[in-house]
Amino acid sequence: MDLYLIHWPVAPIERMMESWAALIELRKRGDVRAIGVSNFMVKHLQALVENFDELPVLNQIEHHLFPSMSRPNLRKVAPMVREHCERLGISYHETSLPRAYVEVGRYINRVGRGNIDVWACPLASSMRSGLV
């Protein structure tokens, strides 16, 4: 696997630290080439800095996913997170929801899987039909 991310920092800080330690171990074993995070704000990144020598190679941000934060505040937060990532040497990639769909679609088509429904979930389908 090329890149493995902690997708969302909503777990208690201890769980997030356990997850990051597990990703570091996967990278050291060679199971993944790179490890990163998604939607981490400054306080989440700082917790990694304070607890680990190895930091994420990427912070993938979809700022529209923060429903409790008003749009004007999102515009203020984005540059702060971007600058913090830059100071730490972490690549920062920000995208919008429509852009995320375009990127996923392009990737699926590029790897020759354009004929599958990327949004279909076998587990959800099973749950809807009462099999699980």
What is the per-residue pLDDT across 35-80, written as a single tens digit (0 to 9) for each?
A: 999 889 899 999 999 999 999 999 988 755 555 566 667 777 888 9
pLDDT of 126 over the 90 cut: no
Residue burial 82-106, b: 16+ Cβ < 10 Å; e: rest = bebbeebebebeeeeeeeeeeeeee
Q: How buried is residue 29: exposed, middle or buried, by Cβ count under 10 Å (0-12/13-18/19+)?
A: exposed
User: How far is it, in rounded angstroms, from Cα 132 to Cα 130?
Assistant: 6
pTM of the model: 0.69
Q: How long a stretch of residues is the chain?
A: 132
Q: What are phi and psi of 19, to 5 degrees?
A: -65, -45
